[in-house]
């Protein structure tokens, strides 16, 4: 199994009316939960479903965009957007089954499902990506 390092295309820090810090320190961990969406693709490298994973350190991606000197800890994440490539007018969408270890997400490309039992699929690096994977991240900073 090879880990292909994903190229981060964009990081969007999700803002909302609940971004203010809570006055109570009892639920500080819950009140301080932040959200972001990280967009990534394999940047022209093949990713063979079932044998390869597309990996990304989500904490580093978020820290590189916020640049506030705080350490990001990923609490949970999910695939929020399928990867789509376009081979001469024929678009193919790739679901992804993900696992998280520390702050690094590993996505196994799938063609039929976001579940571990879904059919593995290979992302061909020579085919242009028109929509990268989106990974929604809930995280804290310290």
Dump pLDDT digits (tens) for 71-81. 999 999 999 99
For the chain, give the number of residues: 142
> What residues contact residue 32 under an 8 Å CB cut-off, 6+ apart?
21, 22, 140, 141
| pLDDT value at 124 more than 80 | yes
Is the per-residue pLDDT at 127 higher than 80?
A: yes
CA distance 112 to 99: 17
Token duo for residue 136: 């929604």
pLDDT digits (tens, 9 = 90+) for 29-40: 556 789 999 999
Cα gap 121→7, rounded to integer Å: 19
Per domain, the residue ranges of the chain are 2-141
Q: Is the dihedral of CA 95, 97, 101, 106 positive or negative?
A: negative
């Amino acid at each position: 199994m090879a880990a292909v390092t994903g190229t981060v295309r964009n990081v969007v820090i999700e803002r909302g009316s609940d971004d203010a810090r809570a006055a109570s320190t009892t639920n500080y961990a819950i009140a301080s939960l932040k959200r972001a969406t990280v967009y990534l693709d394999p940047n022209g490298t093949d990713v063979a479903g079932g044998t390869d994973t597309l990996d990304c350190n989500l904490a580093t991606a978020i820290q590189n965009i916020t640049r506030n000197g705080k350490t990001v800890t990923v609490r949970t994440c999910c695939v929020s957007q399928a990867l789509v490539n376009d081979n001469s007018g024929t678009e193919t969408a790739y679901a992804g089954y993900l696992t998280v270890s520390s702050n690094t997400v590993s996505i196994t490309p799938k063609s039929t499902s976001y579940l571990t039992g879904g059919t593995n699929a290979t992302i061909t690096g020579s085919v242009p990506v028109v929509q990268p994977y989106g990974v929604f991240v809930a995280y804290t900073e310290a």
